[in-house]
Amino acid sequence: MAVTVVLLVLLPHVGSIPVFATIAALLAAVASLAYMPAFAVPLRALPPAVIGAAMAVIIFGGQLAGVVTPLLFGIVTDHFSYATAFVVLAAGPLPAAAVAACVPQSADAFRARLSGRFAVTSDPKESLA
């Protein structure tokens, strides 16, 4: 996420289109790495009865961000500048990093945190057979 912040702040200050396109592509590649654990950990840890609801919440969050972010970017651009809008956009990974620090980072840790809320089997693949 730190790389994302740096690339977002750099983006409005580049002088050529090829450099802008390269930084934007690198930004997209780095940012997409955050999606993998967001889907993988719940899929491996949650019981099948709630996987659909969990994926719906995760996807809803991504879709909501896809609607709110351009709106916020446009408002900041209209009132200030593109450079300021990219700095505001770069602030997005900061709360994401704070949340990521609090969320279990492995399926086992995720299951341990959920042990009191759901009847989680020791191996989630057993229930799929």
**Hey, what are 10's tokens?**
């750099």
| Greatest mean pLDDT range, 37-41, 66-70, 108-112 | 66-70
Q: Tell me the per-residue pLDDT of 28-44, one tens digit each, with 9 for 90 and over.
A: 888 788 777 777 777 77
Going 25 to 27 to 33 to 34, the CA torsion angle's sign is: negative
**Hey, what are 84's tokens?**
């300021």
Q: How confident is the model at residue 118 (pLDDT cuts 50, 70, 90)?
A: low
Residue 62 contacts by C-beta under 8 Å, 6 or more apart in sequence?
A: 35
Q: Tell me the per-residue pLDDT of 6-62, one tens digit each, with 9 for 90 and over.
A: 888 888 888 899 999 998 899 888 878 877 777 777 777 788 888 888 889 888 988
